[in-house]
A and B are shown apart, each in its own frame.
Chain A
Amino acid sequence: MKDLFRGELIRFSLEEPEVRAQAEVRWQRDTEFNRLADSDPSQLTSEKKIKEWFEKQSETGPKADRYSFSVRTLKEDRYIGFLGLWVNLIHSEAWVGLGIGEREFWSKGYGSDMMRLCQQYVFAELGLQRLSLGLHEYNPRALRSYEKCGFHLEGRTRQDLMREGKRYDSLWMGILRDEWLQMQNGEHQ
């Protein structure tokens, strides 16, 4: 059987609450990172509070509709980011959100590798029918990356975000199970 948690450049893991908090408290200070990854306004939370929040997740334990991964590089074993899945069990589809907090790993294919590993997990382990994501119109790097991974641009909500005094569209993308399977077959030819 294939290794679900190992890609070409990165692997999935789950880091300890202290480790995650230490990294996130640093990453949150990079407002460019936050503006690319998130719609929520940038804010600064204490490491203590972040750690508590991760520890609370341990209390409830793993849930069937929520998957959290830490991302580490294979070569240097550096902890560079995260990937999360929100699953709608009834309709067999999921939303993915990801981020690379360590800037030096931007634009080097790490995001695409994370996304491909995520797609494999969603279709080969969770057995879902669809994977969706959203991104900002001012994030062309992500758009290109996701298109390469087989996501289709399905729509945009016009000017639903405001930053630096300007309004921006949000983009919505999705990939269907059959489309992903076809891509897999294509790769093996």
Chain B
Amino acid sequence: MKDIFTGKLVRLSAFDPEELSKALPRWYRNSEYFRLLDASARPMQSSKAASKWMEEEVGEMLLQSYYFSIRTLAEDKLIGELELDVVNWPGRDAFVGLGIGETDYWSKGYGTDVMNVLLVFAFTEINLRRVSLGVFEYNPRAIRSYEKAGFRHEGRLRCLLNREGRRWDNLFMGILREEWLALNPQ
């Protein structure tokens, strides 16, 4: 049997609030990291506060949200976070959000590998028909990675962000199940 959670460089593992409540606040102290992921800065959070928030938030969302940790296959190291939110069940459409908190693992194909594993889960295990994402115009690395995974451009919200004194667009991308199957014959 295939282990769908394992890719070539990474595997998806369980979302462990204790482990992540220590890692997330540390990753978010890197302003480049949160500016790539979030539209605006959240207040800095202690591990204690993060832990509490996670118990509350993750507990509530179980019917439509899937949370994972990202670990490297080589060292079994926790390097990032992944979330899949089904926004519409009849349309079987979900938004994916992923972040590689350990910057040493940027630009080495880890993000693309995570996305490939995630799409297998989305299309073959929870039977979605569409996976969507939003990405900021100033994040070309992520945009390229998503293009490689098969996401297509679907437009942009003009001037959505205001950072460093200028405006930036928010891009939307999406991949349909039939498009993914064509790229990844089962």
Contact = CB atoms under 8 A, between A and B. Distances in A.
Interface stretch (A23-31, A85-93, A142-150, A170-178): A85-93
Interface stretch (B2-10, B39-47, B86-94): B86-94
Contacts of A127: 89-92
Contacts of A92: 92, 127
B127 A64 contact: no
Contacts of B90: 125-127
Contacts, number: 21
A63 B89 contact: no
A47 to B, nearest CB: 31
Interface of A: 63-65, 89-92, 125-127
Nearest to B129: A127
A64 B90 CA distance: 10
A31 to B, nearest CB: 36
B91 A64 contact: no
Prevailing SS type, chain B contact patch? loop
B64 interface: yes
B62 to A, nearest CB: 11
A145 to B, nearest CB: 27
Given A89-B64, A127-B90, 6 more contacts: A64-B64, A90-B127, A92-B92, A126-B89, A126-B90, A127-B91
Contacts of A89: 63-64, 86, 89
B74 interface: no
- Across chains A and B, which 10 residue pairs bring their CB atoms closest together, nearest first? A127-B90, A89-B89, A90-B126, A126-B90, A64-B89, A64-B63, A90-B127, A65-B63, A92-B127, A64-B64
A131 to B, nearest CB: 14
Contacts of B127: 90-92
Of the candidates A63, A64, A91, A126, the one having the most CB atoms from chain B within 10 angstroms of its own CB is A64
Interface string B131-173: 0000000000000000000000000000000000000000000
